[in-house]
Structure 1
Amino acid sequence: MLTKHGDRDKDSVLIMCVFNDAESWGRGRSMKDFFKLIGSFDYPKAKVSIALLTSSMTEFAKAKVLFGSYIAQYPRLSVIFRNDFSPGGLTRANRHDHSLQASRRRMLARYRNYALLSTMESWHQHVVWVDADITAIPSGLVLKMVQSGRDILEPMCVRNIRGKWFNYDSNAWVGQRKVRSANDKDFVP
Protein backbone atom coordinates (compact mmCIF):
# COMPACT_ATOMS: atom_id res chain seq x y z
CA MET A 1 0.00 0.00 0.00
CA LEU A 2 1.23 3.46 -0.89
CA THR A 3 -0.37 6.55 0.67
CA LYS A 4 0.12 10.30 0.37
CA HIS A 5 -1.71 13.12 2.08
CA GLY A 6 -3.74 15.57 0.08
CA ASP A 7 -7.17 17.02 -0.62
CA ARG A 8 -9.25 13.99 0.23
CA ASP A 9 -11.75 15.25 2.81
CA LYS A 10 -14.82 15.70 0.58
CA ASP A 11 -16.19 13.35 -2.08
CA SER A 12 -13.24 10.96 -1.98
CA VAL A 13 -13.76 7.85 -4.10
CA LEU A 14 -12.31 4.38 -3.56
CA ILE A 15 -12.19 2.43 -6.82
CA MET A 16 -12.12 -1.31 -6.18
CA CYS A 17 -11.19 -4.14 -8.53
CA VAL A 18 -11.07 -7.83 -7.61
CA PHE A 19 -9.53 -10.02 -10.28
CA ASN A 20 -8.01 -13.46 -10.69
CA ASP A 21 -4.97 -13.16 -12.95
CA ALA A 22 -3.58 -11.53 -16.12
CA GLU A 23 -6.36 -13.08 -18.23
CA SER A 24 -8.95 -11.17 -16.19
CA TRP A 25 -8.10 -7.90 -17.96
CA GLY A 26 -9.33 -9.31 -21.29
CA ARG A 27 -7.64 -10.18 -24.54
CA GLY A 28 -4.68 -7.92 -25.30
CA ARG A 29 -5.16 -5.88 -22.12
CA SER A 30 -3.23 -5.49 -18.88
CA MET A 31 -3.28 -3.65 -15.58
CA LYS A 32 -1.84 -0.62 -17.40
CA ASP A 33 -5.04 -0.44 -19.46
CA PHE A 34 -7.07 -0.44 -16.24
CA PHE A 35 -5.07 2.52 -14.91
CA LYS A 36 -5.45 4.28 -18.26
CA LEU A 37 -9.24 3.82 -18.02
CA ILE A 38 -9.36 5.15 -14.44
CA GLY A 39 -7.10 8.04 -15.49
CA SER A 40 -9.60 9.03 -18.20
CA PHE A 41 -12.26 9.99 -15.64
CA ASP A 42 -13.24 13.66 -15.34
CA TYR A 43 -12.75 13.45 -11.60
CA PRO A 44 -9.88 14.89 -9.54
CA LYS A 45 -7.22 12.21 -9.14
CA ALA A 46 -6.38 13.72 -5.74
CA LYS A 47 -9.75 12.39 -4.55
CA VAL A 48 -9.42 8.88 -6.05
CA SER A 49 -7.89 5.89 -4.27
CA ILE A 50 -7.46 2.56 -6.03
CA ALA A 51 -7.53 -0.87 -4.40
CA LEU A 52 -6.85 -4.15 -6.18
CA LEU A 53 -7.23 -7.71 -4.91
CA THR A 54 -5.72 -10.48 -7.02
CA SER A 55 -5.35 -14.23 -6.75
CA SER A 56 -2.15 -14.14 -8.82
CA MET A 57 1.24 -13.60 -7.22
CA THR A 58 2.55 -12.46 -10.63
CA GLU A 59 -0.13 -9.73 -10.94
CA PHE A 60 0.46 -8.78 -7.29
CA ALA A 61 4.15 -8.17 -8.07
CA LYS A 62 3.27 -6.23 -11.26
CA ALA A 63 0.90 -3.98 -9.29
CA LYS A 64 3.54 -3.13 -6.71
CA VAL A 65 5.93 -2.05 -9.48
CA LEU A 66 3.24 -0.17 -11.42
CA PHE A 67 2.12 1.73 -8.31
CA GLY A 68 5.42 3.60 -8.31
CA SER A 69 4.33 5.32 -11.54
CA TYR A 70 0.96 6.42 -10.14
CA ILE A 71 1.42 7.29 -6.45
CA ALA A 72 2.11 10.94 -7.30
CA GLN A 73 -1.39 11.16 -8.84
CA TYR A 74 -3.56 9.24 -6.35
CA PRO A 75 -3.76 9.59 -2.55
CA ARG A 76 -3.79 5.84 -1.91
CA LEU A 77 -2.98 2.73 -3.92
CA SER A 78 -3.48 -0.71 -2.38
CA VAL A 79 -2.92 -4.24 -3.65
CA ILE A 80 -3.85 -7.42 -1.82
CA PHE A 81 -2.94 -11.00 -2.68
CA ARG A 82 -5.46 -13.60 -1.59
CA ASN A 83 -6.36 -16.91 -3.22
CA ASP A 84 -7.87 -19.00 -0.45
CA PHE A 85 -11.58 -18.49 -1.26
CA SER A 86 -11.50 -20.12 -4.72
CA PRO A 87 -13.84 -23.12 -5.06
CA GLY A 88 -12.34 -26.27 -6.55
CA GLY A 89 -13.16 -26.99 -10.17
CA LEU A 90 -13.85 -23.38 -11.16
CA THR A 91 -11.97 -22.37 -14.32
CA ARG A 92 -12.10 -19.45 -16.72
CA ALA A 93 -13.77 -21.73 -19.27
CA ASN A 94 -16.61 -22.91 -17.01
CA ARG A 95 -17.13 -19.82 -14.83
CA HIS A 96 -20.44 -18.94 -16.52
CA ASP A 97 -21.97 -22.42 -16.08
CA HIS A 98 -25.28 -22.03 -14.27
CA SER A 99 -24.46 -24.82 -11.81
CA LEU A 100 -21.35 -22.95 -10.62
CA GLN A 101 -22.87 -19.47 -10.32
CA ALA A 102 -23.88 -19.66 -6.65
CA SER A 103 -20.42 -20.76 -5.46
CA ARG A 104 -18.70 -18.35 -7.86
CA ARG A 105 -20.78 -15.37 -6.68
CA ARG A 106 -20.17 -16.40 -3.04
CA MET A 107 -16.42 -16.50 -3.70
CA LEU A 108 -16.48 -13.07 -5.39
CA ALA A 109 -18.52 -11.60 -2.53
CA ARG A 110 -15.98 -12.89 0.00
CA TYR A 111 -13.07 -11.42 -1.95
CA ARG A 112 -14.87 -8.09 -2.41
CA ASN A 113 -15.85 -7.87 1.26
CA TYR A 114 -12.29 -8.65 2.32
CA ALA A 115 -10.84 -6.07 -0.10
CA LEU A 116 -13.29 -3.40 1.03
CA LEU A 117 -12.76 -4.03 4.75
CA SER A 118 -8.99 -4.04 4.26
CA THR A 119 -8.68 -0.83 2.25
CA MET A 120 -11.58 1.53 2.94
CA GLU A 121 -10.73 4.48 5.18
CA SER A 122 -13.06 6.79 7.09
CA TRP A 123 -12.32 9.58 4.59
CA HIS A 124 -13.62 7.55 1.61
CA GLN A 125 -17.18 8.73 1.00
CA HIS A 126 -17.87 6.69 -2.14
CA VAL A 127 -16.93 3.25 -3.46
CA VAL A 128 -16.98 2.33 -7.14
CA TRP A 129 -16.49 -1.30 -8.17
CA VAL A 130 -14.95 -1.81 -11.62
CA ASP A 131 -14.50 -5.26 -13.14
CA ALA A 132 -11.08 -5.89 -14.64
CA ASP A 133 -12.42 -6.58 -18.14
CA ILE A 134 -14.39 -3.33 -18.48
CA THR A 135 -12.95 -1.52 -21.49
CA ALA A 136 -14.91 1.75 -21.50
CA ILE A 137 -16.59 3.96 -18.92
CA PRO A 138 -17.95 7.41 -19.81
CA SER A 139 -15.43 9.93 -18.49
CA GLY A 140 -18.08 11.87 -16.55
CA LEU A 141 -19.80 8.88 -14.94
CA VAL A 142 -17.99 8.93 -11.57
CA LEU A 143 -18.65 12.66 -11.17
CA LYS A 144 -22.31 12.12 -12.08
CA MET A 145 -22.57 9.28 -9.55
CA VAL A 146 -20.96 11.32 -6.76
CA GLN A 147 -23.19 14.32 -7.47
CA SER A 148 -26.37 12.19 -7.58
CA GLY A 149 -26.77 12.17 -3.80
CA ARG A 150 -27.94 8.55 -3.88
CA ASP A 151 -26.59 5.82 -1.64
CA ILE A 152 -26.61 2.98 -4.18
CA LEU A 153 -26.23 3.28 -7.94
CA GLU A 154 -25.79 0.58 -10.53
CA PRO A 155 -24.79 1.75 -13.99
CA MET A 156 -25.95 -0.46 -16.83
CA CYS A 157 -23.16 -2.66 -18.18
CA VAL A 158 -23.50 -3.62 -21.83
CA ARG A 159 -21.58 -5.88 -24.17
CA ASN A 160 -21.28 -5.63 -27.94
CA ILE A 161 -21.63 -9.02 -29.61
CA ARG A 162 -21.44 -8.96 -33.40
CA GLY A 163 -22.68 -5.37 -33.59
CA LYS A 164 -25.56 -5.76 -31.11
CA TRP A 165 -25.60 -4.37 -27.56
CA PHE A 166 -26.74 -6.62 -24.71
CA ASN A 167 -27.25 -5.98 -20.99
CA TYR A 168 -24.35 -7.95 -19.53
CA ASP A 169 -24.45 -7.55 -15.76
CA SER A 170 -27.10 -10.18 -14.99
CA ASN A 171 -25.60 -11.09 -11.61
CA ALA A 172 -25.85 -7.64 -10.02
CA TRP A 173 -29.12 -8.40 -8.22
CA VAL A 174 -30.79 -11.58 -6.97
CA GLY A 175 -34.47 -11.69 -6.10
CA GLN A 176 -37.12 -9.04 -6.46
CA ARG A 177 -35.80 -5.54 -6.94
CA LYS A 178 -37.57 -2.82 -4.97
CA VAL A 179 -38.06 0.38 -6.92
CA ARG A 180 -38.40 3.77 -5.26
CA SER A 181 -41.41 5.82 -6.28
CA ALA A 182 -40.69 9.34 -7.51
CA ASN A 183 -42.26 10.87 -4.37
CA ASP A 184 -40.64 8.62 -1.73
CA LYS A 185 -37.67 10.45 -0.18
CA ASP A 186 -37.19 7.96 2.69
CA PHE A 187 -36.87 4.82 0.55
CA VAL A 188 -34.62 2.03 1.82
CA PRO A 189 -34.21 -0.98 -0.49
Structure 2
Amino acid sequence: MVHKDNPTTLLLRGNKRLTMIVLGILSLVGLFLLTFSKQLWLNHCRTNGGLRTLNEAMSFSSSSLSYSSGSDDHGRARFIDLNGLEATGQASDNEEHVLILTPLKNAASYLPRYFELVNRMNYPKHLISLAFLVSDTTDDTVAILKEKAEQFLNPDDSPDGSSPAQERYHSISIFEKDFDFDLPEGRRHEFEMQPLRRSFMARSRNYLLSAALKEEHAWVLWLDVDVVEYPASILEDLQSVNVDVVVPNCLRETEDGSFWGYDKNNWMETQQSLDMQRDLDPEYVLLEGYYEFLTGRYLMVDMPTHLGKLDKVPLDGVGATFTLVKAQVHREGANFPPFAFQHQVETEGFAKMAKAMGFGVYGLPSYLIYHIMNS
Protein backbone atom coordinates (compact mmCIF):
# COMPACT_ATOMS: atom_id res chain seq x y z
CA MET A 1 0.00 0.00 0.00
CA VAL A 2 1.38 3.45 -0.87
CA HIS A 3 1.21 6.13 1.84
CA LYS A 4 0.85 9.65 0.65
CA ASP A 5 2.33 12.53 2.65
CA ASN A 6 -0.12 15.11 3.73
CA PRO A 7 0.51 18.80 2.88
CA THR A 8 1.78 19.62 6.39
CA THR A 9 4.53 16.96 6.21
CA LEU A 10 5.67 18.21 2.80
CA LEU A 11 5.87 21.78 4.11
CA LEU A 12 8.02 20.72 7.08
CA ARG A 13 10.41 18.79 4.82
CA GLY A 14 10.72 21.79 2.52
CA ASN A 15 11.48 24.13 5.38
CA LYS A 16 14.08 21.73 6.76
CA ARG A 17 15.78 21.43 3.37
CA LEU A 18 15.75 25.21 2.95
CA THR A 19 17.18 25.68 6.45
CA MET A 20 20.04 23.28 5.71
CA ILE A 21 20.83 25.11 2.46
CA VAL A 22 20.86 28.50 4.24
CA LEU A 23 23.08 27.18 7.03
CA GLY A 24 25.46 25.71 4.47
CA ILE A 25 25.70 29.00 2.61
CA LEU A 26 26.29 30.92 5.87
CA SER A 27 29.04 28.47 6.85
CA LEU A 28 30.81 28.96 3.52
CA VAL A 29 30.54 32.74 3.82
CA GLY A 30 31.86 32.64 7.40
CA LEU A 31 34.81 30.45 6.40
CA PHE A 32 35.66 32.80 3.53
CA LEU A 33 35.50 35.87 5.78
CA LEU A 34 37.67 34.23 8.44
CA THR A 35 40.34 33.25 5.90
CA PHE A 36 40.25 36.64 4.16
CA SER A 37 40.41 38.64 7.40
CA LYS A 38 43.28 36.51 8.71
CA GLN A 39 45.24 37.20 5.53
CA LEU A 40 44.55 40.92 5.82
CA TRP A 41 45.72 40.83 9.45
CA LEU A 42 48.94 39.05 8.55
CA ASN A 43 49.65 41.43 5.67
CA HIS A 44 49.02 44.42 7.94
CA CYS A 45 51.37 43.10 10.59
CA ARG A 46 54.12 42.29 8.11
CA THR A 47 53.83 45.77 6.61
CA ASN A 48 53.84 47.58 9.95
CA GLY A 49 56.43 45.49 11.72
CA GLY A 50 53.91 44.05 14.18
CA LEU A 51 52.82 40.48 14.91
CA ARG A 52 53.74 38.04 12.17
CA THR A 53 51.42 35.17 13.13
CA LEU A 54 48.19 34.80 15.07
CA ASN A 55 50.05 32.52 17.49
CA GLU A 56 52.34 35.43 18.36
CA ALA A 57 49.29 37.58 18.95
CA MET A 58 48.13 35.15 21.60
CA SER A 59 51.50 34.50 23.26
CA PHE A 60 52.06 37.92 24.96
CA SER A 61 55.70 37.24 25.84
CA SER A 62 56.43 39.51 28.79
CA SER A 63 59.93 40.29 27.52
CA SER A 64 58.70 41.68 24.21
CA LEU A 65 55.66 43.81 25.05
CA SER A 66 55.40 47.55 24.89
CA TYR A 67 52.43 49.79 25.41
CA SER A 68 51.31 52.99 23.80
CA SER A 69 48.90 55.57 25.18
CA GLY A 70 47.95 56.70 21.68
CA SER A 71 44.31 56.37 20.70
CA ASP A 72 45.04 53.67 18.10
CA ASP A 73 46.98 51.40 20.47
CA HIS A 74 45.31 52.12 23.80
CA GLY A 75 44.80 48.95 25.78
CA ARG A 76 46.57 46.78 23.21
CA ALA A 77 49.99 45.16 23.30
CA ARG A 78 52.55 45.47 20.51
CA PHE A 79 55.12 42.82 19.71
CA ILE A 80 58.45 44.34 18.66
CA ASP A 81 61.19 42.01 17.46
CA LEU A 82 64.50 43.82 18.00
CA ASN A 83 66.53 40.87 16.72
CA GLY A 84 66.44 42.23 13.19
CA LEU A 85 67.48 45.77 14.14
CA GLU A 86 71.02 46.28 12.86
CA ALA A 87 73.44 49.13 12.26
CA THR A 88 75.56 48.34 9.21
CA GLY A 89 78.10 49.94 6.93
CA GLN A 90 75.39 50.27 4.26
CA ALA A 91 72.92 52.11 6.45
CA SER A 92 71.27 54.21 3.74
CA ASP A 93 70.77 51.25 1.39
CA ASN A 94 69.31 49.23 4.26
CA GLU A 95 67.06 52.15 5.32
CA GLU A 96 68.44 52.31 8.85
CA HIS A 97 67.02 55.06 11.02
CA VAL A 98 69.30 57.69 12.59
CA LEU A 99 68.44 59.65 15.73
CA ILE A 100 70.24 63.01 16.02
CA LEU A 101 70.44 64.24 19.62
CA THR A 102 71.40 67.75 20.69
CA PRO A 103 71.18 69.18 24.23
CA LEU A 104 70.72 72.96 24.26
CA LYS A 105 70.96 76.00 26.47
CA ASN A 106 70.62 79.58 25.17
CA ALA A 107 71.39 78.36 21.66
CA ALA A 108 69.22 80.69 19.58
CA SER A 109 72.13 82.28 17.71
CA TYR A 110 73.54 78.89 16.63
CA LEU A 111 70.33 77.24 15.44
CA PRO A 112 70.09 78.70 11.89
CA ARG A 113 73.49 77.27 10.90
CA TYR A 114 72.79 74.04 12.80
CA PHE A 115 69.61 73.36 10.81
CA GLU A 116 71.22 74.48 7.56
CA LEU A 117 73.96 71.86 7.96
CA VAL A 118 71.59 69.10 9.06
CA ASN A 119 69.30 69.79 6.11
CA ARG A 120 72.31 69.66 3.78
CA MET A 121 73.18 66.09 4.75
CA ASN A 122 72.87 63.52 1.97
CA TYR A 123 71.29 60.91 4.24
CA PRO A 124 67.60 60.28 3.39
CA LYS A 125 65.50 62.70 5.41
CA HIS A 126 62.68 60.24 6.05
CA LEU A 127 65.21 58.07 7.95
CA ILE A 128 66.30 60.91 10.26
CA SER A 129 64.74 61.81 13.61
CA LEU A 130 65.80 64.90 15.56
CA ALA A 131 65.45 65.37 19.31
CA PHE A 132 66.46 68.27 21.55
CA LEU A 133 66.62 68.78 25.30
CA VAL A 134 66.43 72.45 26.28
CA SER A 135 67.62 73.25 29.80
CA ASP A 136 67.77 76.42 31.91
CA THR A 137 67.28 78.62 28.86
CA THR A 138 66.50 82.33 28.96
CA ASP A 139 66.46 83.11 25.21
CA ASP A 140 64.01 82.06 22.48
CA THR A 141 65.62 78.68 21.75
CA VAL A 142 62.32 76.80 22.16
CA ALA A 143 60.40 79.14 19.85
CA ILE A 144 63.02 78.77 17.11
CA LEU A 145 63.02 74.99 17.50
CA LYS A 146 59.24 74.88 17.07
CA GLU A 147 59.44 77.03 13.96
CA LYS A 148 62.19 74.90 12.42
CA ALA A 149 60.39 71.70 13.32
CA GLU A 150 57.29 72.90 11.47
CA GLN A 151 59.41 73.64 8.38
CA PHE A 152 61.20 70.29 8.45
CA LEU A 153 58.06 68.23 9.02
CA ASN A 154 56.00 70.16 6.46
CA PRO A 155 58.31 71.06 3.57
CA ASP A 156 57.14 73.35 0.79
CA ASP A 157 54.76 71.70 -1.64
CA SER A 158 56.16 70.55 -4.95
CA PRO A 159 54.84 72.15 -8.20
CA ASP A 160 52.15 69.49 -8.60
CA GLY A 161 50.76 70.35 -5.18
CA SER A 162 52.07 67.33 -3.27
CA SER A 163 54.72 67.06 -0.56
CA PRO A 164 56.76 63.89 -1.11
CA ALA A 165 57.19 61.83 2.05
CA GLN A 166 60.87 61.38 1.20
CA GLU A 167 61.46 65.09 1.92
CA ARG A 168 59.93 64.96 5.39
CA TYR A 169 61.97 64.08 8.46
CA HIS A 170 60.79 61.02 10.33
CA SER A 171 60.16 62.90 13.57
CA ILE A 172 61.26 65.92 15.59
CA SER A 173 60.94 66.04 19.38
CA ILE A 174 61.58 69.00 21.67
CA PHE A 175 61.95 68.27 25.39
CA GLU A 176 62.44 70.81 28.14
CA LYS A 177 64.01 69.91 31.47
CA ASP A 178 65.63 72.44 33.79
CA PHE A 179 68.42 71.42 36.15
CA ASP A 180 68.66 74.83 37.88
CA PHE A 181 72.35 74.96 37.08
CA ASP A 182 73.57 78.46 36.34
CA LEU A 183 77.21 78.96 35.36
CA PRO A 184 78.35 82.34 33.98
CA GLU A 185 79.24 82.01 30.29
CA GLY A 186 82.71 83.40 30.92
CA ARG A 187 83.50 80.61 33.40
CA ARG A 188 82.09 77.59 31.54
CA HIS A 189 85.54 76.40 30.41
CA GLU A 190 87.47 77.09 33.63
CA PHE A 191 89.35 74.08 34.99
CA GLU A 192 87.75 74.21 38.45
CA MET A 193 84.22 74.27 36.95
CA GLN A 194 84.56 71.26 34.69
CA PRO A 195 83.67 68.28 36.93
CA LEU A 196 80.43 69.93 38.11
CA ARG A 197 79.57 71.36 34.70
CA ARG A 198 80.20 68.08 32.92
CA SER A 199 78.20 66.20 35.54
CA PHE A 200 75.12 68.28 34.69
CA MET A 201 75.82 67.85 30.98
CA ALA A 202 75.86 64.08 31.51
CA ARG A 203 72.49 64.23 33.24
CA SER A 204 70.98 66.20 30.38
CA ARG A 205 72.35 63.75 27.79
CA ASN A 206 70.92 60.80 29.70
CA TYR A 207 67.54 62.53 29.98
CA LEU A 208 67.51 63.20 26.25
CA LEU A 209 68.64 59.70 25.32
CA SER A 210 66.03 57.96 27.47
CA ALA A 211 63.24 60.21 26.21
CA ALA A 212 64.05 60.08 22.50
CA LEU A 213 65.43 56.61 21.65
CA LYS A 214 62.73 54.54 19.90
CA GLU A 215 62.63 50.99 18.62
CA GLU A 216 63.27 51.96 14.98
CA HIS A 217 66.56 53.75 15.65
CA ALA A 218 69.70 51.87 14.55
CA TRP A 219 72.13 54.79 14.99
CA VAL A 220 72.46 57.69 17.44
CA LEU A 221 74.34 60.83 16.46
CA TRP A 222 75.38 63.28 19.18
CA LEU A 223 75.76 66.65 17.49
CA ASP A 224 76.84 69.93 19.09
CA VAL A 225 74.77 72.93 18.14
CA ASP A 226 77.86 75.08 17.51
CA VAL A 227 79.58 72.85 14.96
CA VAL A 228 79.73 75.11 11.93
CA GLU A 229 81.14 73.00 9.10
CA TYR A 230 81.14 69.35 8.05
CA PRO A 231 80.71 67.46 4.74
CA ALA A 232 77.20 66.66 3.50
CA SER A 233 78.25 63.00 3.20
CA ILE A 234 79.43 62.73 6.81
CA LEU A 235 76.75 60.32 8.03
CA GLU A 236 77.34 57.79 5.25
CA ASP A 237 81.11 58.25 5.62
CA LEU A 238 81.14 57.51 9.34
CA GLN A 239 78.64 54.66 8.99
CA SER A 240 80.84 53.03 6.35
CA VAL A 241 83.60 52.63 8.95
CA ASN A 242 81.13 50.25 10.65
CA VAL A 243 82.31 50.44 14.26
CA ASP A 244 80.39 50.85 17.51
CA VAL A 245 81.49 54.43 18.25
CA VAL A 246 83.29 56.77 15.84
CA VAL A 247 84.24 60.44 15.90
CA PRO A 248 85.79 62.78 13.30
CA ASN A 249 88.53 65.25 14.22
CA CYS A 250 86.95 68.52 15.37
CA LEU A 251 89.04 71.68 14.90
CA ARG A 252 88.40 75.35 15.61
CA GLU A 253 87.09 77.64 12.94
CA THR A 254 89.55 80.54 12.61
CA GLU A 255 89.42 83.65 10.46
CA ASP A 256 92.89 83.07 9.01
CA GLY A 257 92.30 79.38 8.28
CA SER A 258 95.02 78.26 10.67
CA PHE A 259 95.11 74.81 12.23
CA TRP A 260 93.79 74.72 15.80
CA GLY A 261 92.45 71.72 17.69
CA TYR A 262 89.08 72.01 19.43
CA ASP A 263 87.66 68.72 20.73
CA LYS A 264 90.45 67.54 23.03
CA ASN A 265 88.17 64.96 24.61
CA ASN A 266 89.04 62.57 21.75
CA TRP A 267 92.19 60.85 23.01
CA MET A 268 94.20 57.69 23.42
CA GLU A 269 95.76 56.50 26.68
CA THR A 270 99.55 56.28 26.84
CA GLN A 271 101.79 54.36 29.19
CA GLN A 272 102.53 57.66 30.96
CA SER A 273 98.83 58.42 31.50
CA LEU A 274 98.09 54.89 32.71
CA ASP A 275 100.99 54.95 35.18
CA MET A 276 99.83 58.31 36.52
CA GLN A 277 96.30 57.04 37.16
CA ARG A 278 97.43 54.23 39.44
CA ASP A 279 98.13 56.69 42.24
CA LEU A 280 95.02 58.84 41.81
CA ASP A 281 92.05 58.93 44.15
CA PRO A 282 89.21 56.98 42.46
CA GLU A 283 87.00 60.10 42.64
CA TYR A 284 89.48 62.35 40.85
CA VAL A 285 88.21 63.49 37.44
CA LEU A 286 90.80 63.92 34.71
CA LEU A 287 90.38 66.70 32.15
CA GLU A 288 92.15 67.31 28.85
CA GLY A 289 93.52 70.56 27.47
CA TYR A 290 94.27 72.21 30.84
CA TYR A 291 97.77 73.11 31.97
CA GLU A 292 96.66 72.73 35.63
CA PHE A 293 96.95 68.93 35.31
CA LEU A 294 98.70 67.38 32.31
CA THR A 295 97.73 63.77 31.69
CA GLY A 296 100.23 62.73 29.03
CA ARG A 297 97.52 61.32 26.76
CA TYR A 298 97.71 61.36 22.96
CA LEU A 299 95.02 63.77 21.75
CA MET A 300 93.47 63.17 18.34
CA VAL A 301 93.86 66.87 17.48
CA ASP A 302 97.64 66.26 17.70
CA MET A 303 97.60 63.23 15.38
CA PRO A 304 98.63 63.45 11.68
CA THR A 305 95.79 64.60 9.42
CA HIS A 306 97.31 63.82 6.01
CA LEU A 307 96.45 60.11 5.97
CA GLY A 308 93.34 58.44 4.54
CA LYS A 309 90.15 60.28 5.43
CA LEU A 310 88.53 57.13 6.83
CA ASP A 311 91.64 55.63 8.42
CA LYS A 312 90.67 54.90 12.01
CA VAL A 313 92.60 54.76 15.26
CA PRO A 314 91.41 53.27 18.58
CA LEU A 315 90.45 55.83 21.21
CA ASP A 316 89.86 55.63 24.95
CA GLY A 317 87.97 58.91 25.34
CA VAL A 318 85.60 60.84 23.07
CA GLY A 319 83.85 64.16 23.05
CA ALA A 320 80.43 64.75 21.54
CA THR A 321 80.85 67.46 18.95
CA PHE A 322 79.94 64.85 16.32
CA THR A 323 79.82 61.34 17.76
CA LEU A 324 78.12 58.48 15.91
CA VAL A 325 77.04 55.53 18.04
CA LYS A 326 75.37 52.28 17.10
CA ALA A 327 72.12 52.40 19.08
CA GLN A 328 72.84 48.94 20.49
CA VAL A 329 75.66 50.44 22.55
CA HIS A 330 73.23 52.73 24.37
CA ARG A 331 70.50 50.10 24.60
CA GLU A 332 72.84 47.70 26.36
CA GLY A 333 73.59 50.29 29.04
CA ALA A 334 76.47 52.54 28.00
CA ASN A 335 75.39 56.07 28.86
CA PHE A 336 77.00 59.23 30.24
CA PRO A 337 78.12 58.85 33.87
CA PRO A 338 77.55 62.03 35.93
CA PHE A 339 79.99 60.60 38.49
CA ALA A 340 83.65 59.61 38.26
CA PHE A 341 83.94 56.42 36.20
CA GLN A 342 87.57 55.40 35.71
CA HIS A 343 88.46 59.06 36.40
CA GLN A 344 86.10 60.38 33.71
CA VAL A 345 82.61 61.86 33.52
CA GLU A 346 80.15 62.54 30.71
CA THR A 347 81.36 61.77 27.16
CA GLU A 348 84.80 60.48 28.14
CA GLY A 349 83.14 58.39 30.83
CA PHE A 350 80.80 57.03 28.13
CA ALA A 351 83.79 55.94 26.04
CA LYS A 352 85.37 54.23 29.04
CA MET A 353 82.09 52.49 29.83
CA ALA A 354 81.55 51.37 26.22
CA LYS A 355 85.06 49.90 26.08
CA ALA A 356 84.58 48.15 29.43
CA MET A 357 81.50 46.50 27.91
CA GLY A 358 83.51 45.25 24.93
CA PHE A 359 82.49 47.84 22.31
CA GLY A 360 84.97 49.45 19.93
CA VAL A 361 85.66 53.21 20.10
CA TYR A 362 87.49 54.85 17.21
CA GLY A 363 88.50 58.21 15.79
CA LEU A 364 89.25 59.49 12.29
CA PRO A 365 92.19 61.94 12.62
CA SER A 366 92.06 62.96 8.94
CA TYR A 367 88.30 63.51 8.77
CA LEU A 368 88.02 67.20 9.67
CA ILE A 369 85.00 69.13 10.91
CA TYR A 370 84.94 72.62 12.42
CA HIS A 371 83.58 74.14 15.59
CA ILE A 372 82.85 77.78 16.18
CA MET A 373 85.70 79.79 17.65
CA ASN A 374 85.06 80.32 21.36
CA SER A 375 87.06 80.38 24.55
> Do Structure 1 and Structure 2 share a fold, with TM-score over 0.5?
yes
Tell me if structure 1 keeps the 8 A contact 2:107–2:225: no
For residue 121 of structure 2, the aligned residue among 27, 41, 46 is 41
Aligned-partner Cα distance in 1 for 2:173–2:201: 18
* Map 1:70-85 → 2, pairs under 5 A: 70-72=152-154, 73-84=168-179
Instruction: Return the letter of the residue paired with 2:142.
Output: F
1:59 has 2:152 as partner: no
Aligned-partner Cα distance in 1 for 2:105–2:238: 27
Instruction: Return the letter of the residue paired with 1:78.
Output: S
Aligned-partner Cα distance in 1 for 2:235–2:251: 17
Cα deviations by residue, 1:112-157 (Å, 9 ceiling, x for unpaired) = 1110110010111111111111111111111112222211001111
Aligned-partner Cα distance in 2 for 1:46–1:129: 19
Aligned-partner Cα distance in 1 for 2:203–2:266: 15
Aligned-partner Cα distance in 1 for 2:210–2:180: 16
Aligned-partner Cα distance in 1 for 2:173–2:246: 24
The structure with higher relative contact order (CA 8 Å, sep 6+) is 1
Query: Which blocks of at least 5 consecutive residues in structure 2 are unaligned?
Result: 1-91, 155-167, 275-296, 298-312, 316-357, 361-375
TM-score, length of structure 1 as denominator length? 0.79
Aligned-partner Cα distance in 2 for 1:139–1:188: 27
TM-score, length of structure 2 as denominator length? 0.41
Cα deviations by residue, 1:83-127 (Å, 9 ceiling, x for unpaired) = 2152x4x12111010111111111111111110110010111111
Cα deviations by residue, 1:54-97 (Å, 9 ceiling, x for unpaired) = 122631232123211111420110111122152x4x12111010
Greater mean alpha carbon deviation, residues 94-103 or residues 145-154: 145-154
Aligned-partner Cα distance in 2 for 1:99–1:14: 33
Tell me if structure 1 keeps the 8 A contact 2:114–2:225: yes
Label 1:145 to 1:179 Cα distance change in 2 as closer, same or farther (>3 A).
closer
Instruction: Return the letter of the residue paired with 2:96.
Output: D
Aligned-partner Cα distance in 2 for 1:83–1:172: 28
Greater mean alpha carbon deviation, residues 52-61 or residues 143-152: 52-61
Tell me if structure 2 keeps the 8 A contact 1:13–1:125: yes
Label 1:165 to 1:38 Cα distance change in 2 as closer, same or farther (>3 A).
same
Tell me if structure 2 keeps the 8 A contact 1:11–1:146: no
Tell me if structure 2 keeps the 8 A contact 1:85–1:111: no
Aligned-partner Cα distance in 1 for 2:215–2:122: 23
Tell me if structure 2 keeps the 8 A contact 1:60–1:80: no
- Corresponding residue of 1:13: 98
Instruction: Return the letter of the residue paired with 1:127.
Output: V
1:179 has 2:261 as partner: no
1:163 has 2:163 as partner: no
Question: Matched residue pairs, number?
Answer: 169
Label 1:53 to 1:174 Cα distance change in 2 as closer, same or farther (>3 A).
farther
Per-residue deviation, 1:172: 4.5
- Corresponding residue of 2:203: 110
Instruction: Indicate the structure with greater helix content.
Output: 2
Aligned-partner Cα distance in 1 for 2:114–2:359: 33
Query: Which blocks of at least 5 consecutive residues in structure 1 are unaligned?
Result: 1-6, 24-28, 181-186
Instruction: Return the letter of the residue paired with 2:236.
Output: L
Cα deviations by residue, 1:153-187 (Å, 9 ceiling, x for unpaired) = 0111111334322221123569668938xxxxxx6
Greater mean alpha carbon deviation, residues 159-168 or residues 122-131: 159-168
- Corresponding residue of 1:149: 242
Aligned-partner Cα distance in 2 for 1:107–1:173: 22
Bigger radius of gyration: 2
CA root-mean-square deviation: 2.6
